[in-house]
């Protein structure tokens, strides 16, 4: 038995079951422990019957003050902590940080390291999208896709483990290049994976994308117009699902992205299904990039020569990269010392989440899962 | 709408025949698929019995290394502790005394060396920083215990077995790291 408590919400008193006095509305909490929020996201939702009237994300349950922590770490060390932000694309986080440090040091990266980095980024993107696909289908009640997705993702984590030494938090990018050279098996295994994966995407489409129940639940749900996507600062597949060109790999190419051929995927409907299709089609593009690069890894060093202690000149440095979720910006203010004076991460999840209320107000509670799933939120990335 | 895959099948809407109404062929077909999967290659690994090989760069729990004569390599210079982003390493240095040459390779050694495995993020920077080839990230992973304090590993947990006294255990602890030639010496 719980005791009588009163929560003040909207200056209206609620009783213990969350009903708002005299309005017929009711407040419920989704999360912080809820299977569909994929982490400790807390949504306070005001409902009228089944209809969502108001939605308020409460953040901070997994705030580890990574930005502050980075201020006391050297330019070599802080990169490793950022693996723990968006742990599903930790390679790309590391990459962004390494790029910022290199920008400050005006360091030339050997071509071999550049290609390896891009290959790793794209593998990470596929792994991340696959996990999203499985989890998203599970949110909607389909269980098998989760196992399918993990089956293929496992191959990627194996490849990562072999070359980088860890499966999830790889810590492979260092200022100046990558930590070790690639494993002798790397190219063969990636090629095997690509062959396997191409047939698997068809299977994914058979299993989920073409399913009429799935389409009915996704189409026309969680609409986000292009203007709103821009004003909420959405990036990545969320913005591209609304037809906003936002692929950093195209707009501000880094490493070898300007030398490889791939398309920026755009869908115009702006509903959950559009965002879903953007990610599915993006996996094809990642495969395309990998296919172009895997046989053309240049010979040479995998790491540029750097000093043992890195010192960035006084000034401000900003770089952006495209993670699996959108634009990740790293902003470093340096006072000329060995540690950053201030560091700020612009994480894609935070801005994408801010659009959630706009997308779901007025729709049914069940549609919340179909919408939130397509935002691909990673909570440690939002809270940091 | 264009089809998403080339495997779309038009659905037959004719009324079902007697045979089909019994659903037996359909069940048999479904069971056939299930049976087929009994004979395909398994994607899972039966973990504790079966283990996957590790790559030479795998970053697991730490090992404090000894040289071929079984002397400790570490000279308590503290470079690993400085390099560690998680501040997981602490140590106390001591001077080597007369008659301890067979125990410690250098004149200074770590009397106390502790790694807090709960803080460690297994980044491998300590290994990079060490000038004496004294610390390695090994292949052991997923330690378990009943108390938190036990995750602060002291020298007794970290030191590799003596290669002269227990050569087999030494090789086992070294793992595929032993194959990683020319890293640094
Ligand atoms: S392990 Fe290596 S870096 Fe650390 S104190 Fe010993 S010798 Fe120095
Ligand atoms: S692996 Fe990294 S976090 Fe762990 S003790 Fe070594 S330097 Fe510290």
Q: What is the pLDDT of residues A305-341, one digit of tens each?
A: 888 788 888 888 899 898 888 889 999 998 888 888 8
pLDDT at B126: 86
Check: CB of residue B171 under 8 Å from CB of residue B158. no
What is d(CA A39, CA A132) in angstroms, rounded to the nearest whole number?
13
Cis peptide before A32 (omega within 30 of 0): yes
CATH of domain B62-179: 3.30.70.3270
State the average pLDDT for chain A: 84
Check: CB of residue A86 under 8 Å from CB of residue A323. yes
The residue ranking higher by pLDDT, A79 or B26, is: A79
pLDDT at B7: 58
Q: Do B122 and A169 touch (CB under 8 A)?
A: yes
Q: Among all ligands shown, which has an atom nearest to the Cα of B60?
A: 2
Confirm or reject contact between B81 and chain A (CB < 8 A). Answer: no
Domain assignments of chain A as residue spans, ordered by start:
8-58, 66-383
CATH of domain A66-383: 1.10.645.10
pLDDT at A47: 85
What is d(CA A86, CA A91) in angstroms, rounded to the nearest whole number?
9
Q: Is the pLDDT of residue A132 over 80?
A: yes
Residues of B in contact with A169 (CB under 8 A): 121-122
Give the lowest-confidence range in A61-70, A129-138, B139-148. Answer: B139-148
Report the pLDDT averaged over residues A144-160: 86
H helices of chain A, in order, are 66-71, 78-81, 90-105, 111-139, 144-164, 186-204, 212-218, 226-231, 236-241, 248-251, 272-294, 348-354, 356-360, 365-375, 379-383
Q: How far is the CA of B157 from the centre of ligand 1 (A)?
A: 16
pLDDT at B2: 57
% of chain A surpassing 70 pLDDT:
94
pLDDT at A1: 37
pLDDT at B11: 64
Q: How far is the CA of A363 from the centre of ligand 1 (A)?
A: 60
Q: Do A73 and B85 touch (CB under 8 A)?
A: yes
What is d(CA A159, CA A177) in angstroms, rounded to the nearest whole number?
19
Pocket around ligand 1 at a 6 A CB cut-off: B 74-80, 91, 110, 129-130, 132, 134-135
For A199, the closest chain B residue by CA position comes to B5
Report the pLDDT averaged over residues A55-71: 87
B179–chain A nearest CA distance, Å: 13
Give the lowest-confidence range in A118-127, B21-30, B36-45, B82-91. Answer: B21-30
Residue nearest to ligand 1 atom 5, measured at CA: B76
Residue nearest to ligand 2 atom 2, measured at CA: B123
Q: Could you tell me if the CB of B81 is within 6 A of ligand 2?
A: no
- Which of B135, B138, B184 is the best mutation target for the ligand 1 pocket, counting ligand atoms within 8 Å of the beta carbon and taking the most? B135
ipTM of the complex: 0.71
For A198, the closest chain B residue by CA position comes to B5
Confirm or reject contact between A87 and chain B (CB < 8 A). Answer: no
pLDDT at A4: 44
The residue ranking higher by pLDDT, B4 or A361, is: A361
Burial A121-149 (b: 16+ CB within 10 A, else e): bbbbbbbbbbbbbbbbbbbbebeebbebb
pLDDT at A16: 53
Q: Is the pLDDT of residue A18 over 80?
A: no
A vs B: CB pairs below 8 A: 57
Distance of CA A34 to the CA centre of its chain: 20
pTM, rounded to two decimals: 0.82
Q: Is the pLDDT of residue A210 over 70?
A: yes
pLDDT at A5: 45
User: Which two three-digit tokens encode residue B136?
Assistant: 């390695």
pLDDT grade for B179, boundaries at 50, 70 and 90 = very low
Q: Do A163 and B55 touch (CB under 8 A)?
A: yes
């Amino acid at each position: 038995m719980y005791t009588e408590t009163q929560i003040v919400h909207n200056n209206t008193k609620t009783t213990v079951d969350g009903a708002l006095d005299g309005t017929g509305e009711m407040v419920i909490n989704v999360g912080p422990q809820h299977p569909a929020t994929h982490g400790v996201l807390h949504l306070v939702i005001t409902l009228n019957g089944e209809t969502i009237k108001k939605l308020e994300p409460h953040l901070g349950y997994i705030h580890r003050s990574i930005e502050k922590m980075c201020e006391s770490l050297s330019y070599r060390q802080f990169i490793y902590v950022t693996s723990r932000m968006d742990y599903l694309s930790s390679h790309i986080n590391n990459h962004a940080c390494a790029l910022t440090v290199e920008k400050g040091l005006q360091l030339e990266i050997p071509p071999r390291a550049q290609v390896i980095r891009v290959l790793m980024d794209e593998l990470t993107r596929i792994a991340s999208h696959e996990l999203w696909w499985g989890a998203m289908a599970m949110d909607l009640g389909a269980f098998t896709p989760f196992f399918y997705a993990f089956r293929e993702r496992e191959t990627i984590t194996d490849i990562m483990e072999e070359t980088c030494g860890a499966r999830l938090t790889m810590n492979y990018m260092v200022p100046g290049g990558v930590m070790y050279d690639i494993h002798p098996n790397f190219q063969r295994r990636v090629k095997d994976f690509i062959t396997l994966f191409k047939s698997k995407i068809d299977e994914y489409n058979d299993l989920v994308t073409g399913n009429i129940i799935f389409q009915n639940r996704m189409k026309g749900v969680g609409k986000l117009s292009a203007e709103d996507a821009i004003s909420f600062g959405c990036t990545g597949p969320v913005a591209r699902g609304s037809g906003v060109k936002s692929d950093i790999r195209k707009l501000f190419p880094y490493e070898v992205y300007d030398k490889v051929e791939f398309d920026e995927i755009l869908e115009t409907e702006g509903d959950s299904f559009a965002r879903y299709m953007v990610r599915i089609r993006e996996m094809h593009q990642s495969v395309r990039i990998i296919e172009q690069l895997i046989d053309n890894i240049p010979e040479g060093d995998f790491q540029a020569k750097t000093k043992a202690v890195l010192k960035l000149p006084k000034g401000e440095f900003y770089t952006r990269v495209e993670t699996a979720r959108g634009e990740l910006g790293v902003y470093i203010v340096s006072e000329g010392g060995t540690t950053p004076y201030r560091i700020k991460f612009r994480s894609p999840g935070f801005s994408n989440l801010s659009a959630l209320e706009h997308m779901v107000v007025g729709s049914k509670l069940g549609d919340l899962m179909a919408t939130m799933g397509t935002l691909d939120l990673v909570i440690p990335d939002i809270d940091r | 709408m264009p089809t998403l895959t080339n495997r779309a099948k038009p659905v037959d809407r004719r009324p079902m025949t007697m045979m089909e109404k019994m659903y037996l062929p359909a069940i048999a077909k479904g069971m056939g698929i299930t049976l087929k999967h009994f004979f395909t290659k398994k994607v899972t690994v039966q973990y504790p019995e079966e283990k996957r090989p590790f790559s030479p760069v795998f970053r697991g729990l730490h090992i404090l290394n000894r040289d071929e004569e079984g002397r400790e390599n570490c000279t308590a210079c503290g470079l690993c502790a400085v390099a560690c982003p998680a501040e997981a390493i602490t140590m106390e240095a001591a001077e080597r005394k007369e008659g301890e040459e067979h125990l410690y390779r250098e004149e200074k050694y770590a009397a106390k060396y502790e790694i807090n495995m709960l803080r460690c993020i297994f980044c491998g920077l300590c290994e990079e920083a060490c000038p004496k080839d004294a610390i390695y990230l090994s292949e052991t992973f997923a330690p378990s215990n009943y108390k938190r304090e036990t995750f602060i590993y002291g020298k007794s947990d970290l030191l590799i077995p003596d290669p002269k006294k227990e050569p087999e255990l030494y090789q086992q602890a070294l793992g595929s790291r032993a194959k990683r030639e020319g890293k640094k010496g």
